[in-house]
Amino acid sequence: MNSHKTAIVRKTLPLPTRWLLSQKLTHLPVLDYGCGKCHNVNPLQWFNYDPFWFNSDIECLRGEIQTVVCNYVLCTLPKSEEKKILLDIQSLLTPSGVAYISVRNDKPKGGYGKSSRGTYQRKVTLPYLFQLRKTSQYRIYLLTQTSKLV
């Protein structure tokens, strides 16, 4: 799938994360799940996890994270991986923790499917999760330990 190729170098935080911070919705400890090449713009006290771009072990964090941000990860993976990722994120949360799962709401320049660079993009909807925010560019869904993943 080459999903790691979709990671871009950023000078600022992704739009969904900036909005979450502006609304004061993140509480420490925070984990950026699938941070890609964005880990160097995250606040210093955040944990970063990306299996390809940022070598970190999250096993010791299971059940310890208050907030997870997960930006545009599901869009780059096949639907068959969706539930596995969401279950993994759920396992990281404290009982009162919250994960914010953001997905693209715009259509990629090359459309959906495989691009000329060998990357994959798909339209993601998560009707079984509460949709916290929707813009022309992204949607943010809420995931908790008690969310039912259908």
Q: Decide if 17 is inside a domain.
A: yes
- Cβ proximity of 132 and 143 under 8 Å: no
Q: Decide if 148 is inside a domain.
A: no
Give the tens place of pLDDT for each residue, 97-120. 999 999 989 877 766 776 556 677
Q: CA-to-CA distance for 82 and 62, rounded, in angstroms? A: 19
Backbone angles phi, psi at 15, to 5 degrees: -50, -45
CATH number of the domain at 65, please.
3.40.50.150
Q: CA-to-CA distance for 70 and 129, rounded, in angstroms? A: 14
Give the tens place of pLDDT for each residue, 53-73. 666 778 889 999 999 999 999
Q: Decide if 130 is inside a domain.
A: yes
Provide the domain limits for residue 10: 3-143
Q: Decide if 149 is inside a domain.
A: no
Q: CA-to-CA distance for 15 and 93, rounded, in angstroms? A: 23
Q: CA-to-CA distance for 86 and 144, rounded, in angstroms? A: 10
Q: Decide if 80 is inside a domain.
A: yes
- State the average pLDDT over residues 74-95: 94
Q: Decide if 150 is inside a domain.
A: no
Domain count, the chain: 1
Q: Decide if 89 is inside a domain.
A: yes
pTM of the predicted model as reported, rounded to 2 decimal places? 0.87
